[in-house]
């Protein structure tokens, strides 16, 4: 089948390539370890060549850290509030050494904090395409190393904020006294919920007022060493939800749409229940949907290919 | 002059030894790097031998992590509320291989959280000896890797809590994306206060809701890379103060007594001003005072030596 578009989701640690037909169906996808911080010898050009090897020539669109200061080509942020359709008008084209054009999606910047994202704006565009009612009025949660909470109104991203939940979890379990000399983590659902409830019940003080519990509960014999990591996971995910409610990013009346699938999202679902927050899930294909939507809005997909 | 007591302040990373006369004056002090986690070949016995080398035989008292599970000899915690005088009744004596008795001060445990301390209880005893009015009714702050907030009432420690401010600062500046590839930190007082104010103004959400600012302000050109560490220092110290107020460990009406001196305490003084909290400082000799006070209350100091 003819190739209408090639899309790249190119972050710090991953490079995913999608080959679409002329109607937005993904014909083939590839996952490479060549993130912006993990490039092969030969750099961006070589990583790109590997990602699209043997694929027919087609327009190329890319999102993520590839457009950052340390990326292949720096692309300025779009400031919020910004309608998701503006992303298509703000693509920056660069030309590879062998003459191919790569169109890079700009990141978004919320000047009120300030805060920034690169890659998630394309997921947001994908959600907006899939769920128009959420684009009209919605709150999105994109969990991860740096979780994002995004507000949508009438098709525009009105603002967003980052919580470094995943990175903090890594720091505390791998580098702090709390994680030192622990046996391998088991998946202790009870310890996880204990952490969630501890964050919830910490009120305005928040999780940093009680994170030392991960150690003292263990010393007390009240938390097995192999459950400390789950307790910390619950404490930090719980604190993210506590923060979202305290900051007004979310409220207990409206549902929140969580983007993604898998074990991490399952943790957020279990934690949200303890807060009475309704999390709805969207499929994990939002980036490939978003790349397609932005490319078509920009007129990148040739009518020949769609024929 | 005759030696009435030898005191050891033996923590995770330091070993300080004090030689007192018979009236509590420190005649000589030594600082060694042989903390409980940094022992020389020969272990505790060798570290002890180096610490007291050439000193006359005298009763020995020790406090700190030396009494922990990974210490020389584990000593159970005393539960709060506990009068500071009870520490003297709860010393545990161990005998070294060459027949010397070492009397180890118990740590304190606050069962209401739970929380624990080892070493700080001796500083608290020192403050109580130096400042009786604080012992009657006071709030102590002991800044450090694991800051402690301690409540005193009628000579008793009624409760306490730990905030891992110093350790978090180390994690974020040394291991996180926020501290990656930064030039050496300068002492930027303005960036520090900006961090303090950011924590204060974060309200119930707290510093974890805005710690990513350390990166976005830099990307925005609003914070020099060499000032990111000072911003983070202010954010975390400010958040500790915010937490102390939100948790009721401190209130804006009563003054807080901060134990210690030096650059870190100066940072707390500057931060507290932004919260309208009055911090009073105590000299940095509280541990040696506390060791002496506990040893005399326990009858360890021989009358011969005091003669």
pLDDT at A307 over 50: no
Distance CA A191, CA A181 (A): 18
Smallest Cβ–Cβ distance between B146 and the set A212, A213, A222 belongs to A212
| Residue A281, beta-bridge partner list | A258
**A233-270 pLDDT per residue, tens:** 999 999 999 999 999 999 877 889 999 889 999 999 99
H runs (alpha helix) in chain A:
43-51, 86-89, 120-130, 132-136, 165-175, 189-201, 213-219, 228-247, 263-275, 286-297, 303-306
Chain A: residue whose CA lies nearest to B110: A216
Whether the CB-CB separation of A53 and A42 falls below 8 Å is answered with no
ipTM score above 0.85: yes
Q: Tell me which H or E stretch contains A63.
A: strand A60-63
**B193-243 pLDDT per residue, tens:** 999 999 999 999 999 999 999 999 999 999 999 999 999 999 999 999 999
Distance from CA of A85 to the nearest CA of B (A): 24
* Cis status, amide bond into A81, omega within 30 of 0: yes
Q: Which of B204, B239, B251 to mutate to test the interface with A (most CBs of A within 10 A)?
A: B204
Q: What is the pTM of this model?
A: 0.94
All domains in chain A, ordered by first residue: 5-134+285-306 (3.30.420.300), 163-282 (3.30.420.310)
Determine contact: A251 vs chain B, CB below 8 A: no
Q: How many helices and strands in chain A, by DSSP H and E?
A: 11, 15
H runs (alpha helix) in chain B:
43-51, 86-89, 120-130, 132-136, 165-175, 189-201, 213-219, 228-247, 263-275, 286-297, 303-306
Torsion, CA A28, CA A34, CA A36, CA A39, rounded to 10: -140
Distance CA B31, CA B275 (A): 36
- Residue B29 dihedral angles phi and psi, to the nearest 5°: -140, 150
Determine contact: B164 vs chain A, CB below 8 A: yes
- Residue B257: helix, strand or coil by DSSP? strand
pLDDT at B18 over 60: yes
Share of chain A above pLDDT 90, in %: 91
Q: What is the DSSP letter of B54?
A: T
Smallest Cβ–Cβ distance between B216 and the set A113, A216, A220 belongs to A113
Residue numbers in B near A209 (CB within 8 A): 161, 163, 243, 246-247
pLDDT-derived band at B305 (thresholds 50, 70, 90) equals: very low
Distance from CA of B59 to the nearest CA of A (A): 31
Could B69 and A113 be called an inter-chain contact, meaning their C-beta atoms sit closer than 8 Å? no
- Residue B304: helix, strand or coil by DSSP? helix
CB contact set of B77 (below 8 Å; sequence gap of 6+): B106, B107, B108, B109, B116
What does the block give as tokens for B133?
């009015």
* Cis status, amide bond into A277, omega within 30 of 0: no
Q: Which of A171, A212, A217, A222 to mutate to test the interface with B (most CBs of B within 10 A)?
A: A212
What's CA B242's distance to the chain center, in Å? Answer: 20
- Residue B154 dihedral angles phi and psi, to the nearest 5°: 55, 40
What does the block give as tokens for A17?
């390539």
Distance CA B3, CA B57 (A): 8
Residue numbers in A near B180 (CB within 8 A): none
Smallest Cβ–Cβ distance between A216 and the set B115, B205, B211 belongs to B115
Residue numbers in B near A171 (CB within 8 A): 171-172, 175-176
- Residue B263: helix, strand or coil by DSSP? helix
Could A212 and B239 be called an inter-chain contact, meaning their C-beta atoms sit closer than 8 Å? no
**A113-149 pLDDT per residue, tens:** 999 999 999 999 999 999 999 999 999 999 999 999 9
Q: What is the DSSP letter of B2?
A: -
CB contact set of A155 (below 8 Å; sequence gap of 6+): A83, A84, A85, A128, A135, A136
The overall longest dimension of chain A from CA atoms, in Å, is 70
Determine contact: A182 vs chain B, CB below 8 A: no
pLDDT at residue A305 in the model: 45
Could B113 and A176 be called an inter-chain contact, meaning their C-beta atoms sit closer than 8 Å? no
pLDDT at residue A97 in the model: 87
pLDDT at A217 over 50: yes
Could A172 and B177 be called an inter-chain contact, meaning their C-beta atoms sit closer than 8 Å? no
Q: Which of A205, A210, A235, A241 to mutate to test the interface with B (most CBs of B within 10 A)?
A: A205
What is the average pLDDT score of chain A?
A: 95
pLDDT at A306 over 70: no
Short-list A136, A140, A138, CA closest to A155: A136
Whether the CB-CB separation of A8 and A290 falls below 8 Å is answered with no
Distance from CA of A6 to the nearest CA of B (A): 30
pLDDT at B306 over 50: no
The size of the A-B interface in CB pairs under 8 A is 106
pLDDT-derived band at A304 (thresholds 50, 70, 90) equals: low
Residue numbers in B near A71 (CB within 8 A): none
pLDDT at residue A260 in the model: 87
Q: Tell me which H or E stretch contains B248.
A: none
Could B212 and A175 be called an inter-chain contact, meaning their C-beta atoms sit closer than 8 Å? no
Distance from CA of B298 to the nearest CA of A (A): 28
Q: Which of B111, B212, B214, B236 to mutate to test the interface with A (most CBs of A within 10 A)?
A: B212
**B282-303 pLDDT per residue, tens:** 887 899 999 999 999 999 997 5
Distance CA A67, CA B278 (A): 48
Distance CA B268, CA B274 (A): 10
Determine contact: A101 vs chain B, CB below 8 A: no
Task: Tell me what the mean pLDDT of segment B267-271 comes to.
Answer: 98
Distance CA B187, CA B233 (A): 11
Short-list B1, B42, B7, B36, CA closest to B22: B1
b/e string for A248-281 if b means 16 or more Cβ within 10 A? Answer: ebbeeeebbbbbbeeebbebbebbbebbebebee
Could B171 and A172 be called an inter-chain contact, meaning their C-beta atoms sit closer than 8 Å? yes
pLDDT at residue A253 in the model: 79
**Alpha-carbon separation of residue B46 from B34, B37, B67 (angstroms):** 10, 14, 17
Could A243 and B205 be called an inter-chain contact, meaning their C-beta atoms sit closer than 8 Å? yes
Short-list B298, B302, B301, CA closest to B90: B298
What's CA A298's distance to the chain center, in Å? Answer: 23
């Amino acid at each position: 089948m003819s190739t209408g578009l090639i899309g790249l989701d190119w972050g710090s640690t991953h490079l995913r390539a999608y080959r679409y037909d002329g109607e937005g169906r993904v014909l083939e996808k590839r996952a490479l370890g060549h993130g912006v911080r993990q490039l092969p010898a030969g750099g961006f050009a070589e990583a790109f060549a590997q990602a699209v090897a043997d694929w027919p020539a087609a327009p190329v669109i890319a999102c993520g850290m590839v457009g950052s200061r340390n990326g292949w080509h720096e692309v300025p942020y779009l400031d919020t509030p910004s309608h998701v359709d503006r992303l298509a008008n703000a693509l920056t084209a660069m030309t590879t050494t062998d003459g191919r054009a790569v169109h890079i999606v700009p990141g978004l910047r919320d000047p009120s904090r300030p805060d920034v994202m690169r890659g998630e704006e394309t997921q947001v565009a994908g959600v907006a395409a899939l769920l128009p009612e959420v684009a009209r009025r919605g709150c999105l949660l994109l969990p991860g190393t740096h979780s994002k909470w995004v507000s949508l109104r009438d098709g525009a991203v009105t603002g967003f904020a980052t919580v470094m939940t995943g990175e903090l979890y890594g720091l505390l379990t791998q580098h702090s006294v709390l994680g030192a000399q622990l046996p391998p983590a088991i998946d202790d659902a009870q310890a996880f919920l204990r952490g969630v409830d501890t964050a919830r019940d910490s009120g305005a003080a928040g999780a940093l007022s009680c994170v030392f519990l991960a150690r003292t509960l263990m010393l007390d014999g009240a938390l097995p060493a192999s459950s400390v990591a789950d307790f910390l996971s619950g404490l930090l995910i719980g604190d993210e939800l506590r923060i979202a409610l305290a900051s007004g990013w979310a409220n207990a009346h409206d549902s929140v749409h969580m983007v993604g699938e898998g074990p991490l999202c399952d943790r957020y679902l279990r934690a949200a229940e303890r807060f009475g927050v309704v999390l709805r899930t969207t499929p994990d294909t939002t980036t490939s949907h978003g790349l397609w939507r932005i490319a078509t809005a920009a007129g990148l997909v040739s009518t020949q290919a769609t024929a």
